[in-house]
Structure 1
Amino acid sequence: MALGSSMAAGPGIRPSAADAPFRAGRSARNYPHLVADRLGLDLTDVTYSGATTANILDEPQHGTPPQIEALDGTETLVTVTIGGNDVGYVPMLMAAGLPRFVRWLPPVRELFDATTRDRALVEVGESLRRVGRAVLERAPHARVLFVDYLALLPPPGEPVPPLSGSDAALGRRIADTLERLTGQAAADTGCEWVRAAQASRSHHAWSAVPWTTRPGLPWPGRPAPLHPNAAGMRAVADLVVEQVGAVSD
C-alpha cells in the first residue's frame, strides 16, 4: 500500500498508472510500483498530487476518499510520503522563481509569510504523528515506512538559478525541518524511516546526476518541476527494498 503526495505519485513520469485519476499524476514507474514489482507484492497505490496529511486522514481530495480508507488490515507493507504540501514547500520554491511583482499577489505572498509558515511547520509534526498512529491502527500487521523527500536544493554556497540565495536558504530550512519531523514522527509512532533526503544530497536538482528536477513550466511527458525524475524514483525504490530486506533477513 502506498500513501502520499506527488513526491510519491511521480507526476510526469511515463507511463501513467492504469485507472489513476488524471489529477493524481500517478506514474506506473513511481517508487511504490517499483518496490512492489521487485518484492512481488500486490500494490494498492492511492498517492495523489497535492495531498496533505488531512487528505490521508479525513479529507476527500477531488472526489476521492481519504487515502487511509484504502487500508483494510491485510497489508504487510505501507509506505508514506507526505507533509510538504502542509507547509507549502514546493509551491514556495515555484513561486520563488517567478518575477518579483508576482510575489505581491495575496496567495503567493502568503507562501512567504513567516508567521504562517512557522505555524505550519509546528503543526505538521503532530500531523505526521497522527498519520503514523492511524496507519498502524488500520494496518496492524504491516511494516509502515515513512519515506521522506528527495533533496531538491544544493548545499549552501552553490548557485540555484533562478532562485535567490535567501529563497534557497528558506527552502533548505523547510526541507531540513520536514526531514527531521518525519524522522521524529516515525520514531514516536513505532514506524520506520527511509532516509531519501540524506541519500540524495549529492543528487539535488542542480547536480550532475540529479534525482529531482529544477523549477520551470510543466511540460507534457516530462517529470513535474521540483519533483523526482525517473532516476530518483528508482533510487528511492532501492532504499525501500534495501531497508525491507535488511530487517527481514
Structure 2
Amino acid sequence: MVAVIGGLLVSAQPALAATPVVDDGAAAPPTARGEGWQPDIQKPDPVTLPGTTKKITPFAKPLSPQQPEALPGATKGPGATLKADGAARSAVRKADRPAFRGAAPQADPDDPPTGLYCTEAITRNASVSGAPNQTNYAANISYLAEFGCNFWLDAAYIATGVIDRGRFDGQFLYTTAPRTYGPTYYGATSGGLSIPGELFDGGRNVEIAFELYLLAPVGVYWGGCFSIPGLRYLLCEGLGTNLLHIVLGTGSFGTGLQPPVIRHVALGDSYSSGTGAPPYSDELCRRAPATYSNLITGTVLSGLPVDRPTLAACHGGKIIDLYVGQHPGLPPQLDAIQPHTRLVTLTIGGNDLDFSLKLTGCYLGADCAAGGPLVTQQKLDQVRVQLTALYRQIRAEMHPSGKLMVLSYPAVVPNPDDPADPPPAQDRCPNLGSNLVESERRAIYEATAQTDRMIRDAVLATGDSRVVYVNGLDLFRGHRLCSTNGVWANGLTSPLSDSFHPNAPGYQAMATRLAQVLPPF
C-alpha cells in the first residue's frame, strides 16, 4: 500500500484542496488498490504569500535543469544571494544561520559564503521492501528539505514533491502541502511515499524537487542563484526584484526497483501446459518448457518486455479447475493472477466438451461419425456461457490495463476438404488412414471448427476489448498429421495422454502467432 512517511514540519500549513491530508500535513498519494496505482496529484488552491497579495500554486511552471545565474557584480554565496549595498545592506536585519536538521549544505572550499544569502539542503533516503513479482514489492522514499538564511526574510513559501524521471518523465508522484511563513530565516518540510513496483511502470528513477518563494525586505533585491553542492536549479526567476522564485532538485536517482516488465500468467489445459512436448518440469500437470507461453518471454510490448510466465495451466484442466484445485494440494489456477498481472494467456473448454476423449475414441474405435456430430449445440452453448463468465473473472483480477489472450485450438487431424492437407496413404502414416476414415476426419475437423467459433463468441460476449480472441484453428494448416512439410502435432503416442497434442514445433507456431497479435499495453 502507498503510505506517507512522517516528517519534520514546522508551523501550520494549508492542506491541498480535495486531497487527503495525514497528521503531519503532507498530502497523501493515492492508495494502491487492486486495480493498480496511478498517481493523480491534484493541484491545490493558490496560497497567498504573507504580507502580499501574490497567490502561489505549487509547481505551476514547467521545470527543466538550468545553470546557476547571477546579475553582474553580485556577491557569490552558497545559494541565493542578495544584492544590497550601503544603507540598504545595513537596514537588513541579520540572523544567525540556524543548524540544519539534515545534512547541512557546504560552500565550495574556494568560495566562502559572504554577504547576505539563503541556502538550501535536501536530505533523502530510499530503500526497497518485498521482492519482484510480489504485491508488497515497493520503493520507499523519505526526505527532508530545508532552507536557512543569515538575515530575516519578510515572508517565505515552500513546497516539495517527487517527480518521476523514467518512463513518465516529469510526472509528479507526490507533493507536500505548501507552507508559508511570515518573517523568518529558516523553514523545513518533509515527506515521502511508497511506490508499488508492480503496480506502476514509473518510479524506477525519481527526483525530489524543492520550490521556494523568498521575499526579501523592501529596498534590497536578489542578485544571484549560485551553485549549491549536491543540488541543481530547475527554475530561477526574480533576480533584480525582492521576490525570488526558485526550484531546486536533487537530480535523478535510482529507487532500487528493477526495470518494469509485463507480468504474465499462463492458464488452462494441456494445450497451454505443454502436453506433447516433453521433457516436463511437472509430470502431474505435464508442464513443459517448450509450451508457447514460455516462448514469448522477452517479447517487447509498448517498450516493456514480457516476463517469463507463471505457468499454472494443467493437463486435463476444465473450466471448474480455474476456480478450485484440480488435484490435491494444487491451488485454483486463478490464484496465480495478481493485481500486477498484465498478460494472461489461456486455452480452456476442450475438456469440458470431452473433445480429447472423443478424438482418441474415434482413432481406436468404430466409425464415430456415424452417430452424428461429435459435439452438440446444446453443449456448445452451455460451455460458451461458462467461458464468458470465466473471461470476465480473469479480467477483474488482473491489472486494469492488462490483456487476456484467449487461444482457440489448432486442428491437428488432416481436413479432407483442404488441399493443403494430403490424405493418409499406404506409404505414409497408414495407421491414421486405417483408423480414421474420411468421414471421421471431416467430423473431427468440424467439431474443432465449432469449438473455435464457440470460443470466439464467448470472447465477443464479454464486451471487453481487453479480452482478445486468437484464432488457432488453421494454424497447423499444411503441417497437420501426415503432412510432408513437417508435422506440428503428435498422432497416437505412448503415453496415450500425449496423443493429438502439439509437439515442440507446434508450440513454437502457437508462440509465433501469439507474438504477432499481442496488442500494445
TM-score range, shorter chain: 0.7 to 0.9
1:92 pairs, out of 331, 336, 358, with 358
Q: Which runs of 5+ in 1 are unaligned?
A: 104-108
SS in 2 for 1:61: coil
CA–CA distance in structure 1, aligned partners of residues 314 and 371 of structure 2: 26
Is the contact between residue 52 and residue 82 of structure 1 (CA under 8 Å) also seen in structure 2?
Answer: yes
User: In the TM superposition, what is the alpha-carbon distance from 1:170 to its structure 2 partner?
Assistant: 2.4
Is 1:23 equivalent to 2:295 in the alignment? no
SS in 1 for 2:478: helix
1:174 pairs, out of 436, 447, 458, with 447
1:149 maps to what in 2?
409
Over the aligned positions, Cα root-mean-square deviation in angstroms equals 2.6
User: Amino acid of the residue matched to residue 26 of structure 1?
Assistant: R
CA–CA distance in structure 2, aligned partners of residues 237 and 121 of structure 1: 27
2:389 maps to what in 1?
130
CA–CA distance in structure 1, aligned partners of residues 335 and 288 of structure 2: 21
CA–CA distance in structure 2, aligned partners of residues 12 and 150 of structure 1: 14
**For the structure 1 residues 115 and 154, does the alpha-carbon distance in structure 2 shift closer, same or farther, using more than 3 Å as the test?**
closer
CA–CA distance in structure 1, aligned partners of residues 346 and 479 of structure 2: 22
1:187 maps to what in 2?
460
Is the contact between residue 151 and residue 212 of structure 1 (CA under 8 Å) also seen in structure 2?
Answer: no
CA–CA distance in structure 1, aligned partners of residues 451 and 479 of structure 2: 18
Q: Deviations over 1:202-232 (max 9, x none)?
A: 221222222111124327xxx9210000001
Is the contact between residue 93 and residue 167 of structure 1 (CA under 8 Å) also seen in structure 2?
Answer: no
2:296 maps to what in 1?
35
SS in 2 for 1:196: coil
User: In the TM superposition, what is the alpha-carbon distance from 1:15 to its structure 2 partner?
Assistant: 3.2
Is 1:248 equivalent to 2:514 in the alignment? no
2:492 maps to what in 1?
215
Is the contact between residue 147 and residue 193 of structure 1 (CA under 8 Å) also seen in structure 2?
Answer: yes
User: In the TM superposition, what is the alpha-carbon distance from 1:130 to its structure 2 partner?
Assistant: 1.5
Q: TM-score by structure 1 length?
A: 0.83
SS in 2 for 1:23: coil
1:70 maps to what in 2?
336
CA–CA distance in structure 1, aligned partners of residues 375 and 306 of structure 2: 41
SS in 1 for 2:448: helix
Is the contact between residue 415 and residue 442 of structure 2 (CA under 8 Å) also seen in structure 1?
Answer: no
SS in 2 for 1:128: helix
Is the contact between residue 276 and residue 490 of structure 2 (CA under 8 Å) also seen in structure 1?
Answer: no
1:229 maps to what in 2?
503
User: Amino acid of the residue matched to residue 53 of structure 1?
Assistant: I
Is the contact between residue 358 and residue 374 of structure 2 (CA under 8 Å) also seen in structure 1?
Answer: no
Is the contact between residue 89 and residue 171 of structure 1 (CA under 8 Å) also seen in structure 2?
Answer: no
User: In the TM superposition, what is the alpha-carbon distance from 1:91 to its structure 2 partner?
Assistant: 1.1
2:317 pairs, out of 51, 72, 78, with 51
User: In the TM superposition, what is the alpha-carbon distance from 1:123 to its structure 2 partner?
Assistant: 1.2
**For the structure 1 residues 121 and 206, does the alpha-carbon distance in structure 2 shift closer, same or farther, using more than 3 Å as the test?**
farther
1:106 maps to what in 2?
none
CA–CA distance in structure 1, aligned partners of residues 459 and 393 of structure 2: 12
SS in 1 for 2:316: coil
CA–CA distance in structure 1, aligned partners of residues 276 and 395 of structure 2: 31
CA–CA distance in structure 2, aligned partners of residues 54 and 24 of structure 1: 16
SS in 1 for 2:482: coil
SS in 2 for 1:79: strand
CA–CA distance in structure 2, aligned partners of residues 90 and 198 of structure 1: 18
Structure number with the higher helix fraction is 1
Q: Which runs of 5+ in 2 are unaligned?
A: 1-264, 300-304, 418-422, 425-431
2:278 maps to what in 1?
14
Q: TM-score by structure 2 length?
A: 0.42
CA–CA distance in structure 1, aligned partners of residues 320 and 447 of structure 2: 19
CA–CA distance in structure 2, aligned partners of residues 180 and 238 of structure 1: 22
Q: Which has the higher contact order (CA 8 A, sep 6+)?
A: 1
SS in 1 for 2:314: coil
User: Amino acid of the residue matched to residue 503 of structure 2?
Assistant: N
User: In the TM superposition, what is the alpha-carbon distance from 1:49 to its structure 2 partner?
Assistant: 0.3
**For the structure 1 residues 211 and 116, does the alpha-carbon distance in structure 2 shift closer, same or farther, using more than 3 Å as the test?**
closer
**For the structure 1 residues 74 and 144, does the alpha-carbon distance in structure 2 shift closer, same or farther, using more than 3 Å as the test?**
same
**For the structure 1 residues 138 and 93, does the alpha-carbon distance in structure 2 shift closer, same or farther, using more than 3 Å as the test?**
same
CA–CA distance in structure 2, aligned partners of residues 116 and 200 of structure 1: 21
- Whose Rg is larger? 2
User: In the TM superposition, what is the alpha-carbon distance from 1:125 to its structure 2 partner?
Assistant: 1.1
**For the structure 1 residues 96 and 85, does the alpha-carbon distance in structure 2 shift closer, same or farther, using more than 3 Å as the test?**
same
Is the contact between residue 206 and residue 214 of structure 1 (CA under 8 Å) also seen in structure 2?
Answer: no
CA–CA distance in structure 1, aligned partners of residues 393 and 311 of structure 2: 17
User: In the TM superposition, what is the alpha-carbon distance from 1:55 to its structure 2 partner?
Assistant: 1.1
CA–CA distance in structure 2, aligned partners of residues 116 and 55 of structure 1: 23
